């Protein structure tokens, strides 16, 4: 296995309330695993609440943020504000941001650059849609999304790449360990060729899309799968099993 620290993020999406969050936090606080970088991404209105209750060993991530520090951008939040709350990570480019809210590769790249400049760790999501996979475009789509980010940033040390095939998100259809490994390997090879071998060897490439307590162990055995970004199961007790998938 590689020396890359296993990374597990829970993307709560637009779910939960204080009572539900209390239950999740209690579970995480009593099941720590310090060999894993564990991150929770609550809805933005609960970021501070979550940060105040969660053990310091677990990081808090936002699900999105904008590309500038402040100004007339109604409804949005900035990396500077996130840092002010003790938030250390941000998910950017999630497929729901791309496909529900129409965010472009370029906007996502600008957001990544600004978040990194402000010292946040960026969980940069990429992934192909079902019709793109069926048309044999999987690698091309993922490379296009990554290329946009590459053009905007120079330091990859605080980037985690989340490969989340759109057809596997919230559908119960997980990419098989071999399907996920194939893409992760392609992405790492791309990083080696286009960025550097050093970055390719050290960057975490995590998988997201219907990860569960039942499938996490087989996925975690693959050499280029360095962790998970978990949606639905991150709200449930099985999230602890997913954190411990490599143990």
- Residue numbers of the site for ligand 13P (CB under 6 A)? 11, 94, 164, 169-170, 208-211, 229-233
End-to-end CA distance of the chain: 12
Largest CA distance in the chain: 48
Distance CA 187, CA 185 (A): 5
Q: What are phi and psi of 203, to 5 degrees?
A: -75, 140
Query: Which residue among the candidates 94, 96, 114, 184 is catalytic per the annotation?
Result: 94
Report the nearest approach of ligand 13P to the CB of residue 212 (Å): 8
Report the nearest approach of ligand 13P to the CB of residue 224 (Å): 18
Residue 103 annotated in active site: no
User: Which of residues 67 and 94 has its CB atom nearest to ligand 13P in the complex?
Assistant: 94
Residue 94 annotated in active site: yes
User: Which of residues 15 and 88 has its CB atom nearest to ligand 13P in the complex?
Assistant: 15
User: To the nearest 10°, the Cα dihedral for 183, 189, 190, 196?
Assistant: 140
Query: For residue 2, what are its two tokens?
Result: 């590689």
Report the nearest approach of ligand 13P to the CB of residue 235 (Å): 9
Query: Which residue among the candidates 110, 128, 164, 184 is catalytic per the annotation?
Result: 164
User: Which of residues 81 and 229 has its CB atom nearest to ligand 13P in the complex?
Assistant: 229
Helix H or strand E encompassing 207: strand 204-208
Distance CA 86, CA 77 (A): 14
CA atoms within 13 A on the CB side of 65: 34
Report the nearest approach of ligand 13P to the CB of residue 211 (Å): 5
User: Which of residues 11 and 200 has its CB atom nearest to ligand 13P in the complex?
Assistant: 11
Residue with tokens 């992934």: 127
Mind telling me the catalytic residues?
94, 164
């Amino acid at each position: 296995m590689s020396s890359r620290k296993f990374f597990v993020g829970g993307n709560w999406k637009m779910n939960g309330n204080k009572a539900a969050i209390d239950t999740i936090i209690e579970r995480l606080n009593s099941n720590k695993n310090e060999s894993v970088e564990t991150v929770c991404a609550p809805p933005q209105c609960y970021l501070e609440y979550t940060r105040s209750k969660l053990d310091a060993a677990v990081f808090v991530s936002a699900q999105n943020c904008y590309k500038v520090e402040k100004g007339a951008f109604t409804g949005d939040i900035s990396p500077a504000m996130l840092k002010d709350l003790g938030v250390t990570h941000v998910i950017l480019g999630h497929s729901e941001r791309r496909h529900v809210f129409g965010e472009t590769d370029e906007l996502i790249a600008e957001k990544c650059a600004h978040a990194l400049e402000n010292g946040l760790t960026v969980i940069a999501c990429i992934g192909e849609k079902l019709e793109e996979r069926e048309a044999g475009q999987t690698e091309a789509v993922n490379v296009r999304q990554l290329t946009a980010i590459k053009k905007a940033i120079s330091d990859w040390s605080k980037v985690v790449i989340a490969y989340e095939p759109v057809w596997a998100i919230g559908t119960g259809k997980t990419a098989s360990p071999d399907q996920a490994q194939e893409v992760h390997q392609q992405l790492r090879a791309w990083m080696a060729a286009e960025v550097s071998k050093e970055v390719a060897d050290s960057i975490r490439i995590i998988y997201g899309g219907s990860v569960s307590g039942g499938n996490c162990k087989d996925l975690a055995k693959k050499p280029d799968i360095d962790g998970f970004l978990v949606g639905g199961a991150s709200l449930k007790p099985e999230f602890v099993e997913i954190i411990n998938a490599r143990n």
